[in-house]
Amino acid sequence: MAMSPRQRKFALTAHVTASVGWLGAVAVFLALAVAGVTSQDAQRVRAVYIAMEVAGWYVIVPLCFASLLTGVVSSLGTTWGLLRYYWVAVKLVITVLATGALLLHMPPISHIARAAAGPGWSGGELQGLRTQLVVQSGAAVLVLLAATALSTYKPQGRTRFGRRVLRSTP
């Protein structure tokens, strides 16, 4: 399933845009999560969680699937392959786990956003969940930074499977 050079550039452009865009969006998420626990102003806190829900569902979730999809296309369409090189295989695992974690954490974010939009909101509710959001977005930024560095440094060479494929190709 080799891609032409044109197709490869297109897939790579889409992949880098989605993946690094995802990192940027999660950095915004972290800033909002920190503002959500540090601000004393109930209106500002309400705005933060409503913004987090919108950014989460409409930017972060789509970018994360786009990164995964374009990454798999770029892998299968080139000699990099999905499991031949450590840097690609580790990114695949990281991205699948990060996608699962994100989907698991979106319903609690929607829950906080609904509470924040309600008439009874005083700004001090759901502290435990809100602190968790800071920790989770901070961890996500670190994981995505690691994936970006793996992509550019490409350390460690081929996996055992990748070496076998190399020996069996004429």
Considering the rule CB under 6 A, would residue 8 count as an interface residue with ligand HEM? yes
Maximum alpha-carbon separation in the chain = 70
Is 137 an interacting residue with respect to ligand HEM (CB under 6 A)? no
DSSP conformation class of 56: I
Compute the least distance from the CB of residue 4 to ligand HEM, in Å: 12
The residues near 116 (Cβ < 8 Å, ≥ 6 apart) are 45, 46, 48, 49, 50, 125
Q: Taking the complex as a whole, how short is the minimal distance between the CB of residue 166 and ligand HEM, in angstroms?
A: 16
Closest CA to 161 of 101, 74, 75, 98: 75
Which residue number has the CB closest to ligand HEM?
71
Among 39, 78, 110, 132, binds ligand HEM (CB under 6 A): 78
Q: Which is nearer to ligand HEM, 132 or 151 (CB)?
A: 151
Quote the CA–CA distance of 7 and 63 in Å, as a whole number: 20
Q: Does residue 19 contact residue 71 with C-beta atoms inside 8 Å?
A: yes
Question: Which chain residues interact with ligand HEM by CB under 6 A?
Answer: 8, 12, 15-16, 19-20, 23, 67-68, 71-72, 74-75, 78, 80, 82, 88, 91-92, 95, 144, 147-148, 151-152
